[in-house]
Chains A and B, each alone.
Chain A
Amino acid sequence: MSFIPGQPVSAVVQRIEIHKLWDGDNLILGFSIGGGIDQDPSQNPFSEDKADKGIYVTRVSKGGPAEVAGLRLGDKIMQVNGWDMTMVTHDQARKKLTKKNEDVVRLLVTRRSLEDAVRQSMMQH
């Protein structure tokens, strides 16, 4: 999942559609993100490759829209509504997720267990 310039990025992804919820005046998704190209990737506890500056799910609130939609702690967000999230700043990612005028976000996420599973099944074949 680490990104090497010039090399195609391949990832097993899962599509997750989250319907935002009104929480007071705010539309919330019920999870939090960490990471971004402006953050210190080495401090990201979820990434496999400590140089990975991707956006990761760092918390998921219980029973929140994200959890309901199947988002998990540690998922790496690849895209938000088609926007690439692997090369964005933390704030850009946050903004893409929190657009007021969108009440549904479609995420493309990848997680280690998915990748491992694919790898294993590939090896069996």
Chain B
Amino acid sequence: MEEYDVPSAASILASVKEQEARFERLTRALEEERRNVSLQLERSSLPSDRLVGGTTGGSNQPLAWQQMVMQEQSPSNQTSLAMMQEPQEVVEETVTIEEDPGTPTSHVSVVTSDDGTTRRTETKDNVTNMKVTKMVKTVTTRTVRQVPLGPDGLPLPEGSSPLGSYTDSIDRRYMKNGERFITPQASSTLTRSYNNYSDSYNDTPDSQFRHYALHDGYGDVPDNYGSLSRGVNYRPYRPYMPTGGYRPENSYTLPIRKDDYGHVAQPQVPMGSSTVDLNRSQPERFQPEPYGLEDDRRSLGPDDEEPYDIEPDYSTANRRTLPGRTIREPLRNGPRVRGYEDPIETELIDERHPYIHGMYPAPLAQPERGSLASLDRMGGRRSPSIDSIRKDPRWRDPDLPEVIAMLGHPIDPVKSNAAAYLQHLCYENDKIKKDVRQLKGIPVLVGLLDHPKAEVHRKACGALRNISYGKDHDNKVAIKSCDGIPALIRLLRKTNDMEVRELITGTLWNLSSYEPLKMVIINHGLQTMTNEVIIPHSGWEQEPNEDSKPRDAEWTTVFKNTSGCLRNVSSDGAEARRRLRECEGLVDALLHALQSAVGKKDMDNKSVENCVCIMRNLSYHVHKEVPGAEKFQDPSALQGPGSAGTQRKKNDDAGCFGGKKAKEEWFNQGRKNGEHNKNYDTLDLPKRTEPTKGFELLYQPEVVRLYLSLLTESQNFNTLEAAAGALQNLSAGQWTWSNYIRATVRKEKGLPILVELLRSDSDKVVRAVAIALRNLSIDRRNKDLIGSYAMRDLVSNLPSGQQRPAKNLEEDTVVAILNTIHEIITDSSENARSLITAQAIDKLVAINRTSQSARETKAASHVLQTVWSYKELRNGLTKDGWNKTHFQPIATGTPKGSKSCKPGYDDTTLPLMEKNQGNRGCSGGDMIPMDELGPDGYSTIDQRDKDSKYKSSDGSSDLQEREPLKNDTNRKHYIRSNRPTVSLVDACDVKPQPVDSWV
């Protein structure tokens, strides 16, 4: 046991031991007490069972008991460690939260007890000064010795209260239901929720209580939110949310609520069996808010395309696995500790299912239904009063204009509820989004971003995030038009709330997928996003503390969203790149994050992918665009005016074949470099007097190792592609740094790594690597090495005529490979010989003659011509049965060209390059940073665009824009991790998970 960061290890160790010993003593004492109590409980439970029949008279008792609790938990001992009277309760901590004064005060204390339960005690002063204490018990982990009864060890007072009877009845229920509820854990969970009910139940008997309950629904919201939102679990509340949402104050919307509520509540006074009680007590629970977001998920369940997002039947899945669950087994056998959420799943299983199927879009309208069904199932029968609620026609949803009007309601919770509801409505519903826009809801929501109350701006932001998602760019424009982008950025600066930050950055990511907004985002948000998110989460420190170890990056959702946003905006042309490069700390932080990813071997996640993509994009054209670049230009390779300009535009058409430079010029460069590079093996890299920072880091030879590590280790095809693309960008061009980079790749043994990746299953990885190899072979040594070692892998990726190899690479990739081969054999008869040895001629001739693709045909034809140009090879070729005609352009090639999308470029004599330039000129599109010499780089990006266009139709989020996700193995993984965050706030809870896992 070593200790870190501790000034004086010995003294601390001593004090730790001391503390631990004390704690141990305390624990022992507590356990002793608990044992006593459990015995008492055992005794007391029996009578309570008998009382289940629940005389109405019993209803006063819970009050008395609760009163007692309240005293113990009164605000005065808020923060101190308090000992509950019930001896078995070890109070580890008491948190008291005061509601804001405008609403009835509510003190909530959370007590974690040793037996693994969390108890929440809420004390309220309602308007009438009535003191009501509410006890909510939550079962958490670690029950070591579960008390046989009183399922959660809740002390049941003598002369049991309804509380007692509830617990008890539940207890019985599981017994009846058999093994499913047999574990103490499950029982405690149930108890928890029923305790809740009992609480609301207490409210019912007279109007004062009812009144309280109405307020309660509201007052509760903030603190319940956290857990409720996780909360499938809390299903039972949900049905009643409509009322709560529009508390007494907003009765204008749903005027009947209050009365209704009374009616409903009243008849529910205990009668008959406990199950009936349960039914009865629920309707009083108005818990509107927490469910706003959950609803989306639940209600959309069946419609959602992503299986695990909602997984309409995931609860059933749970149920299926339940009995045999490994986690559970041990629990049954003995008193073990319990996961803190697990039991709740059990509780839910019955409830959510019917709901999901029963009432898709009407979370507010008919909320009862789901839970009734479940209650029916659970209870076996239901009370008549509930039937009447369900049929009550007066319950209805507010319509959209009403909801939007509520955004401007003077009372904050109404605003936030309305926004939350709006978020729910907009979820994957383009029609509603459009309606919201047309009803002028967006400016109001944007206005709410500046609202001081966290609840309000959070919900508004959630709604904006959903609205901003989708292919309807008008929604994005609408957000921008009312200055939504600066407002989001302002809020990002202001808030420390992780959830809000996730929402803001998610919204920005969505917005950043629309080209015209990219520059706006850069203008308003670049430095803020960098300072607030990228730098802190990357672990980079501007002035690193010498003593401390460098911090690692944290792959938070916020970081992921922000890097995704920057990734999108980084493709907005030269100006965008310039701004990003010059953004203080950005490149440094991204680099640090990537280095930390490499260090931790955590290179497959989305954030890394985003960072590498940004780096790749920023590396594009560095040799032309960075300040002072001209000083480093290689004078021997100054580019003529005819070569591609710095402002080369992206070619949007995936079918286009983008070449950049006149062929000859390109060849010359190769030759010249060849000569130069001979020296580079011995040449030292430039010495630096001060540490490099900012954009200079982009092209320092040190980055080569980083990209190579990513290429070696990452399993994420997008990351692989981007890392190869970065090398491709850096090794392009004629300036000192690209010479260094090319040499460094060789010295760092990067060529074999790249060659290895030619075997990748991913089309675009193969393509990016092929183009990178092409650029790298500008260096003569590289060319020789690549010719010797990569030829076989390059050739094996080629199709044999019409018969595609197993990989079935896309046309772009095949063309890229052919161009790379062409580059490698140019000026090297040795390499041409390797090509022949690799049995390439068969394939090349087949492609030349039979390929359906004009571009493939042409590229193959160039290779063949070059091969034939080596007179020394002809002899051998003739021996193999080839003749000149095989190496000449096929006359019919031109007609074939007409099939392609760019018939005009079918000039066989010359080149790819010029054509493509013309092509590029007319496309006028955005420029996507890619390689300089590798035209095919463009297709990679185009691919991406294509993907993003269709993206929304496949139900993936805007967040994915520019992130193709097409690749098989990765896909699942990524969708998995991204999916939940798609349009919802509390995305993470989509899938109930085992909460407590043995490892």
Contacts and interface: CB of A to CB of B under 8 A. Distances in A.
B4 A13 contact: yes
Interface stretch (B73-81, B138-146, B415-423): B138-146
Given A8-B551, A90-B997, 11 more contacts: A6-B496, A7-B496, A8-B536, A32-B339, A34-B141, A34-B341, A40-B340, A83-B602, A89-B993, A117-B13, A120-B15
Interface stretch (B225-233, B572-580, B919-927): B225-233
Interface string B214-236: 00000000000011001101000
Interface string A9-27: 1001111100000000000
A84 B555 contact: yes
Contact of A59 (B118, B230, B336): B336
Interface in B1-30: 1-8, 11-13, 15-16, 19-20, 23
A41 B6 CA distance: 28
A31 B118 CA distance: 21
7 contacts: A32-B997, A38-B991, A48-B93, A86-B554, A98-B999, A121-B7, A121-B12
Contacts of B341: 34, 39-40, 43
Given A5-B501, A89-B993, A38 B7 contact: no
Tell me which of A43, A44, A48, A114 has the highest count of chain B C-beta atoms within 10 A of its own C-beta.
Answer: A43
Given A12-B3, A13-B5, A38-B991, A84 B19 contact: no
B238 to A, nearest CB: 16
Contacts of A35: 340, 995
Contacts of B990: 38
Interface in A27-64: 28-29, 31-46, 48, 50-51, 58-59
Contact of A40 (B11, B141, B231, B555): B231
A60 to B, nearest CB: 9
A68 interface: no
B537 A5 contact: yes
Contacts of A31: 998-999
B226 A42 contact: yes
Contact of A32 (B1, B110, B996): B996
Given A12-B3, A36-B993, A51-B226, A121 B15 contact: yes
B527 to A, nearest CB: 14
B457 to A, nearest CB: 16
Interface in B301-334: none
What are the nearest 4 A-B pairs in CB distance?
A: A38-B988, A40-B230, A59-B337, A45-B140
B180 interface: no
A125 B6 CA distance: 12
Contacts of B517: none
B362 interface: no
A120 to B, nearest CB: 6
A82 B340 CA distance: 26
Interface string A73-101: 10000000011101101110010011000
Contacts of B996: 32-34, 58-59
Contacts of A4: 496, 498
A28 B999 contact: yes
Interface in B942-999: 980, 988-991, 993-999
A124 to B, nearest CB: 8
A4 B496 CA distance: 6
Contact of B337 (A5, A28, A58, A91): A58
Nearest to A58: B141
B365 interface: no
Tell me which of B116, B337, B551 has the highest count of chain A C-beta atoms within 10 A of its own C-beta.
Answer: B337
Contact of A15 (B2, B6, B602, B991): B2
Given A82-B601, A113-B16, A113-B20, A41 B558 contact: no
Given A31-B999, A84-B555, A5 B496 contact: yes
B95 A50 contact: yes
Contacts of A32: 337, 339, 996-999
B5 A42 contact: no
Contacts of A50: 95, 110, 226
Tell me which of A13, A42, A46, A84 has the highest count of chain B C-beta atoms within 10 A of its own C-beta.
Answer: A42
B161 to A, nearest CB: 25
Interface in B657-693: none
Contacts of A9: 554
A58 B226 contact: no
Given A34-B995, A121-B15, A45 B6 contact: no
A28 B998 CA distance: 8
B92 interface: yes
Tell me which of B1, B15, B600, B995 has the highest count of chain A C-beta atoms within 10 A of its own C-beta.
Answer: B995
Contact of A121 (B11, B95, B227): B11
B533 A6 contact: yes
Interface residues of B, number: 67
B201 to A, nearest CB: 23
Nearest to A2: B498
A45 B116 contact: yes
Contacts of A86: 554
B856 to A, nearest CB: 42
Contact of B498 (A5, A90, A122, A125): A5
A125 B7 contact: yes
A40 B118 CA distance: 13
A91 B996 CA distance: 10
Nearest to B13: A117
B140 A43 contact: yes
Contacts of B554: 9, 84, 86-87
B112 interface: yes
A73 B601 CA distance: 29
B994 A84 contact: no
Nearest to A82: B600
Contacts of A13: 4-5
A44 B496 contact: no
B600 A43 contact: no
Contact of A39 (B16, B20, B337, B340): B340
A59 B142 contact: yes
Contacts of A45: 92, 112, 116, 118, 140-142, 340
Contact of A5 (B5, B12, B558, B999): B558
Contact of B23 (A7, A29, A113): A113
Contacts of B231: 40
Nearest to A49: B95
B556 interface: yes
Tell me which of B5, B93, B138, B141 has the highest count of chain A C-beta atoms within 10 A of its own C-beta.
Answer: B141
A14 B16 CA distance: 12
A44 B117 CA distance: 10
B474 interface: no
A90 B995 contact: yes
A40 B551 contact: no
Nearest to B602: A83
Tell me which of A35, A39, A98, A125 has the highest count of chain B C-beta atoms within 10 A of its own C-beta.
Answer: A39
Contact of B988 (A6, A89, A118, A120): A89
B979 to A, nearest CB: 12
Contacts of A82: 599-601
Nearest to A11: B5
B532 interface: yes
Given A38-B993, A90-B997, A43 B337 contact: no
A3 B233 CA distance: 25
Interface in B498-533: 498, 501, 532-533
Tell me which of B16, B231, B601 has the highest count of chain A C-beta atoms within 10 A of its own C-beta.
Answer: B16
Contacts of A120: 15
A90 B994 CA distance: 8
B995 A39 contact: yes
B12 A39 contact: no
B6 A118 contact: yes
A16 B2 CA distance: 9
A94 B999 contact: yes
Contact of B226 (A40, A46, A97): A40
B118 A5 contact: no
B125 interface: no
